[in-house]
Structure 1
Amino acid sequence: MISKLKYILLLFFIAISLNAQSVTVFANTDTTDYIVGDYIYYTLELNYPKNTRIEIPQIQDSITVLDFIKEEPVVSEESGNTVHILRKYIFSKYDSADVTIPGFRINYFLDGNSEPQFVNVNPVKIIVRTIEINAQGDIQDVKAPLKIQLDWLMILLIILIVVVVIVGVYFLYRYYRKKKLGIVPQKKIIKLPPYRIALDSLSELETKKLWQQGMIKEYHSEITGIIRKYFEDKFNFRALEMTSSEVLLSLKNINDTREIVEITDEFLNNADLVKFAKFKPIPTINEDMMKQAYEIVNKTKVEEEVKVETLEVKNV
């Protein structure tokens, strides 16, 4: 009877010892329903005894169904002999799908034990959806034309127009009078090359600090407009009227631009995500957009002297 009691007590203390040395892990996301381009916050919660070495694999290699953005600082707490750790990662996804974030293995070594043990991370299921558009809700009746009543504001406008016409006639009279006297000055037009116009515009955009003030969409719209205008002036195709894919196709057909096709693809894709998928880029992406814009111009520019064209006006 005493031997049996000793055996039961031994099993009890072994169970307590094993429980005290257990390692647990739990994975979750901040929600299960996302829109394309949203940030997906993925959290790993680990609990393990002190003096235990944990080996967490590279999260980018373990989770390939999502696009990795960054890892946030680790939060660590200790309670008695137990360590509690929170590791948070930010992902995103740019197409709609039912996604299962896979589980993976985390190896650990208990104090004084060189043999690795492991614990499995649980999989997490989420849904990534596109923005639903209500086509019927966007259809509206044509509004009737507004009727403008002739009031004092209209009278003042008419007076202003008359004054402008009189001033214009006066300056035309002076112009033709000088022309008859042969003293019409020559006009000089300074024509900057496309790369100078683009670089000046990018410098001016930087000083506005749009994305730093929360105007993300305006920033991406203006910076892509500068580069599209540069393509149009430099390579003579209608980049301002084309889609991003059409712009890339045109660049591939020009020998001097093939080296910028890849960076232009990334540049235009980021801008399209902001404008059409409500993508909220982190600050480094906004900074990279400016660096890429400068790189596109600098790699394709040809140093030219500023042209000064003289417009000669001859007397008749």
Structure 2
Amino acid sequence: MKVRQNIFIFTTLVCLLAGRPLMAQQYEDYFQVKAVPDTTKIRLGEQVNISVTAKVMLYALKGANLKVVFPNLPDSLNHLEIVSRTPLDTTGTNEQQKVWKQIITVTSFDSGRWEMPPMKFEVFSVTDGSYDSVFTDPIMIDVNTVAVDTSKAFKPIKPLRRVAWNLLDYWPWLLGILVLVTAVVLYFVYWRKRKPAPKPLPAKPAKTPYEVAIEHLAQLGKDKPWNTDVKLYYTELTDVLRQYFEQQFHIAALEQTSAELLQNIKPVTVLNQQRDKLQSILTLADLAKFAKLQPSPQEHEDCLQKAIAVVEWTKAAATAVVEPEGTNHQTK
């Protein structure tokens, strides 16, 4: 019984130790890499394009989830300098295989025979975590100098050669000058032929404060708002008079109480002459608005007629005399 257990343990250890190399050998069989240069002989400063290809045989690794890592090359190595690397190209991939391609361009400024060392590719199995490394073959690049015949004397430097003048070399400048001249000509032509702007029509004269007040008072007499709302009627009546006084006589009538308004109309002679009528209107209006007094229909009509009389009395001072432009007065 113990012999069988020992044989089982030994077999298990052998399988565990041999599993990784077997997996590595499996990747080497189905994962291929190569690096092929377009030339191996260049002169100083010339470039070599190395085509690097990695290929995975999908048909032989069904269900395998592999990850390939391309070599990470430094900017320079062994007298060779990396000029550029193209992005990975997978145009050759199909159901049977997956292909990655990249062009690595190198150059050298040192003459001699230089080796591009093997490039290391790594492949990982996402399924079981195993990995392996595969290397490309080294590439030998011969970098030669330009042959110089030292037996002959150095030739002198040639003088500068003048290039013949060509009109096409200056076409942007000529086009700009042509556009500028055309714009100037069109501007002056348009400026001379442009029609004079029409004169603006004379603005209609605004209504005088007297005309506005008379229109509002006439509308109140027509609507007779006291039949439905006495307070609203007296509010509108006094507002018409206050606006008239403020616009015509520059009295802050809208912001003053009735007593203040009666006090401030004293300097205005033509208005102060109607003080009794104005006081009667303001007193009755305050009683109707604030004391809920109900004046008779006759009193409503009387207040409206007094307001009209006050505005008519100040008509001469309120009406502005506007003479048309161009009127000449000649004394005979």
Q: TM-score, normalised by structure 1?
A: 0.38
Q: TM-score, normalised by structure 2?
A: 0.36
The structure that has the greater radius of gyration is 2
Q: Which has the higher contact order (CA 8 A, sep 6+)?
A: 1
